[in-house]
C-alpha cells in the first residue's frame, strides 16, 4: 500500500505561515514561491515591481510638480480612485499568501491568533490608503466648493510680471448689523522671483475713492450713509456694497462686498488687484487651532476679553482665540499697532504651518475653509499659485503700512500712497541690495516709509 507524502502545508507550522505572510506583505509572491506555486509567485513579484517602478518614475518626473498637481481636481479624482484599488490589491495579496501557506490541519486558539495577526496586518496596509483617499476627497471638495470655475486659459499670469491679492479679515460683531473688514492687506508677488510686498490699508481711511460702478453714488469719495454711525471709512465699503445690489448687479450676494473693496484698493494703491481672499475672523481662529497654534513674539502685555485675561510679553504659543485677540486687540494701543501685529501673525503662520501639522489637522482646516473663507481665485490658477508659493517661501517678505506719520487717515494723500507703492515695486527697490565694498560707508537703514522686512519686524 502506497503512503502519501505530506505536502508543504501539512509540514509548515502556524508561526512559519504567519512569518511568510508578513514577508509576502513586503515582497509579493514570497509565500507562493515557498509553497511551490512558482508561476503565481513570479507574477505577483512582477506586478509589485511594475507598480513600484511606475511610482518611482512618476515621483522622479513630477517631484517639482507635486504641489501644483495636488490642487487640481482631476488629479485628486484619480488619487481617490487609485488609492482604494491599490490598497485592495495589496490586502488580497496578503490574504491569498496566508491561505496558500497555512497548515491544512490548523485549528484551535492558534489558528484564531494567526488569523487575528493577518487581519491586523491587512488593516495596517489598508488604513494609509483609505486615509490618503479621504484626504484627496476632502481636498477636491474644498477646491470645488471654494474656488471659482476655470477661466484663465493656458497662461495664468497673462503676461503679467506680478500678481496681487487682497487679503481681507472680516468681523461680524454681535452688537452691530453686517460685517466690517477690519483687516485689509494687498499682497503683490513677483511671479518670477516670489518677492512679496504687503501693503497695509488702515480700516479708518476716510473718503476712499470709489471705482466706476459706485462713483455715481460717491463722486468725491465714499461717505457711507452720511451719518455719524457710518462716517465713510474704508472698512464700511464691503457692507455698503452688500446692502446695495444695484451697484454690482451681476455679482451675487456675498461677493459684491469683497469685489467692490478689491476695486477700491486698486484705486487707492494705483496697481491692479487681481483677486481677493476673505476670511471670517472666527474661521481664522479655527484654522490656527487646526494646525496646533502659532508662535509669536509679544512685545508687551496685551489685555483681552472681559475676564481680565492677558497675553504676556515674550515668545508665546497662542491658541486660535488668543491669536485672534493678539491680532485684534486695541487695549493700551491703537489701530496701527494692531495692523503691525496682524502682519506679524500672517508672517508667523506662513513660516510655521509645516506639512505635518497641516496634514494632522487637514479635515478641520478644510471644514473651516469651506465655512469661513471666500475668494474669486479661479481653480485653474491654483497650480501656478502653488508653484509660486514655493518661490515665495525662499524670498524676502516686506511690508509697507499706510499709517501716521506717513499718511493721515482722516485726510489721506492718495497721490502719495500711489507714489510710495510705485517706489516699493520699482526695479531698484525690488532688487536685493548689493554688499558694500570693504571700507565703504554702509547705506543708511530704510526710512520708515520704505518697505520693511517682516522677519526683522516680527522677531
Q: Which three cell numbers stand for residue 167?
A: 487679503
* Percent over 70 (pLDDT), the chain: 83
> pLDDT at position 444, please?
38
Instruction: Please say if the pLDDT value at position 379 is more than 60.
Output: yes
- Please state which of the ranges 240-254, 306-320, 434-448 shows the lowest mean pLDDT: 434-448
> pLDDT at position 447, please?
42
In a domain, 436, yes or no: no
> pLDDT at position 11, please?
44
Residue 174 belongs to domain with CATH number: 3.40.630.190
Q: Reply yes or no: is the peptide bond before residue 92 cis, omega within 30 of 0.
A: no
Instruction: Please give the average per-residue pLDDT across 314-324, as a whole number.
Output: 90
In terms of domains, do 184 and 218 share one?
Answer: yes
> pLDDT at position 63, please?
63
> pLDDT at position 228, please?
54
In terms of domains, do 97 and 206 share one?
Answer: no
Strand 302-304 relative to strand 309-311, pairing: antiparallel
Give residues with Cβ within 8 angstroms of 203, minimum separation 6.
Answer: 180, 181, 182, 183, 184, 233, 234, 235, 335
pTM greater than the 0.85 cutoff: no
In a domain, 437, yes or no: no
In terms of domains, do 24 and 84 share one?
Answer: yes
In terms of domains, do 117 and 78 share one?
Answer: yes
Instruction: Please say if the pLDDT value at position 391 is more than 60.
Output: yes
> In degrees rounded to 5, what are phi and psi of residue 148?
-70, 160
Instruction: Please say if the pLDDT value at position 184 is more than 80.
Output: yes
In terms of domains, do 284 and 181 share one?
Answer: yes
> pLDDT at position 375, please?
93
In terms of domains, do 58 and 182 share one?
Answer: no
In terms of domains, do 196 and 242 share one?
Answer: yes
In terms of domains, do 112 and 244 share one?
Answer: no
Name the band, by pLDDT with cuts 50, 70 and 90, for residue 435: very low
In a domain, 157, yes or no: no
Which of 80, 115, 146 is where one domain is finished?
A: 146
In terms of domains, do 359 and 422 share one?
Answer: yes
> pLDDT at position 344, please?
84
Residue 143 burial (CB < 10 Å; 0-12/13-18/19+)? middle
**Coil, helix or strand at residue 344:** helix
In a domain, 440, yes or no: no
Q: Tens of pLDDT along 158-168?
A: 778 899 999 99
Question: Under a CB-based contact definition with an 8 Å cutoff, are residues 77 and 140 in contact?
Answer: yes
Which of 95, 115, 146 is where one domain is finished?
A: 146
In terms of domains, do 169 and 131 share one?
Answer: no
In a domain, 1, yes or no: no
Q: Tens of pLDDT along 99-122?
A: 998 887 666 777 888 889 999 999
Instruction: Please say if the pLDDT value at position 10 is more than 70.
Output: no
Which of 118, 146, 174 is where one domain is finished?
A: 146
Q: Which domain holds residue 231?
A: 162-431+446-458
Number of domains in the chain: 2
In terms of domains, do 174 and 127 share one?
Answer: no
Name the band, by pLDDT with cuts 50, 70 and 90, for residue 183: confident
> pLDDT at position 432, please?
39
In a domain, 155, yes or no: no
Q: Tens of pLDDT along 406-417?
A: 999 989 999 999
In terms of domains, do 172 and 136 share one?
Answer: no
Instruction: Please say if the pLDDT value at position 438 is more than 50.
Output: no
In a domain, 3, yes or no: no
Q: Tens of pLDDT along 223-281?
A: 987 665 567 899 999 999 998 999 998 888 889 999 999 999 999 999 999 999 998 88
User: Would you say the C-alpha torsion 337, 343, 346, 352 has a positive or negative sign?
Assistant: negative
In a domain, 2, yes or no: no
Instruction: Please give the average per-residue pLDDT across 6-20, as a whole number.
Output: 68
Instruction: Please say if the pLDDT value at position 433 is more than 50.
Output: no
Nearest CA to 359 among 136, 141, 140, 142?
A: 136
Instruction: Please say if the pLDDT value at position 155 is more than 80.
Output: no
Instruction: Please give the average per-residue pLDDT across 37-54, as a whole number.
Output: 92
Amino acid at each position: 500500500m502506497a503512503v502519501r507524502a505530506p505536502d508543504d502545508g501539512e509540514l509548515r507550522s502556524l508561526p512559519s505561515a504567519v512569518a511568510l505572510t508578513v514577508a509576502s506583505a513586503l515582497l509579493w509572491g514570497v509565500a507562493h514561491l515557498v509553497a511551490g506555486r512558482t508561476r503565481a509567485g513570479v507574477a505577483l513579484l512582477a506586478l509589485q515591481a511594475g507598480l513600484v517602478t511606475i511610482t518611482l518614475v512618476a515621483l522622479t518626473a513630477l517631484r517639482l510638480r507635486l504641489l501644483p498637481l495636488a490642487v487640481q481636481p482631476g488629479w485628486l479624482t484619480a488619487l481617490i480612485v487609485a488609492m482604494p484599488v491599490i490598497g485592495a490589491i495589496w490586502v488580497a495579496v496578503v490574504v491569498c499568501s496566508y491561505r496558500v501557506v497555512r497548515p491544512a490541519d490548523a485549528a484551535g486558539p492558534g489558528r484564531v491568533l494567526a488569523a487575528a495577526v493577518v487581519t491586523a496586518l491587512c488593516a495596517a496596509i489598508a488604513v494609509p490608503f483609505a486615509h490618503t483617499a479621504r484626504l484627496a476627497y476632502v481636498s477636491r471638495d474644498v477646491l470645488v466648493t471654494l474656488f471659482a470655475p476655470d477661466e484663465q486659459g493656458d497662461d495664468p499670469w497673462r503676461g503679467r510680471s506680478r500678481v496681487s491679492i487682497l487679503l481681507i479679515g472680516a468681523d461680524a460683531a454681535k452688537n452691530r448689523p453686517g460685517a466690517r473688514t477690519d483687516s485689509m492687506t494687498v499682497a503683490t508677488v513677483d511671479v518670477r522671483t516670489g518677492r512679496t510686498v504687503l501693503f497695509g490699508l488702515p480700516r479708518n481711511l476716510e473718503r476712499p475713492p470709489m471705482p466706476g460702478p459706485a462713483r455715481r453714488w460717491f463722486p468725491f469719495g465714499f461717505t457711507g450713509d452720511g451719518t455719524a454711525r457710518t462716517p465713510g471709512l474704508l472698512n464700511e465699503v464691503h457692507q455698503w456694497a452688500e446692502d446695495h445690489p444695484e451697484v454690482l448687479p451681476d455679482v451675487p450676494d456675498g461677493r459684491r462686498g469683497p469685489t467692490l473693496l478689491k476695486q477700491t484698493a486698486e484705486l487707492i494703491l494705483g496697481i491692479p488687484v487681481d483677486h481677493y481672499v476673505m476670511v471670517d475672523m472666527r474661521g481664522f481662529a479655527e484654522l490656527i487651532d487646526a494646525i496646533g497654534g502659532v508662535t509669536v513674539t509679544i512685545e508687551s502685555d496685551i489685555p483681552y476679553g472681559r475676564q481680565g485675561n492677558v497675553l504676556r510679553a515674550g515668545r508665546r504659543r497662542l491658541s486660535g482665540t488668543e491669536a485672534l485677540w493678539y491680532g485684534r486687540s486695541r487695549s493700551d494701543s491703537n489701530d496701527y499697532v494692531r495692523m503691525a501685529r496682524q502682519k506679524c501673525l500672517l508672517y508667523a503662520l506662513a513660516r510655521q504651518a509645516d506639512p505635518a501639522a497641516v496634514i494632522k489637522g487637514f479635515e478641520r482646516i478644510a471644514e473651516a475653509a469651506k465655512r469661513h473663507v471666500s475668494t474669486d481665485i479661479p481653480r485653474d490658477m491654483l497650480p501656478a499659485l502653488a508653484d509660486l508659493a514655493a518661490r515665495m517661501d525662499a524670498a524676502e517678505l516686506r511690508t509697507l503700512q499706510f499709517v501716521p506719520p506717513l499718511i493721515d487717515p482722516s485726510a489721506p494723500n492718495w497721490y502719495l500712497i500711489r507714489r510710495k507703492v510705485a517706489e516699493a515695486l520699482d526695479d531698484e527697490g525690488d532688487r536685493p541690495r548689493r554688499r558694500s565694498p570693504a571700507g565703504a560707508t554702509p547705506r543708511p537703514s530704510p526710512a520708515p516709509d520704505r518697505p520693511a522686512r517682516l522677519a526683522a519686524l516680527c522677531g
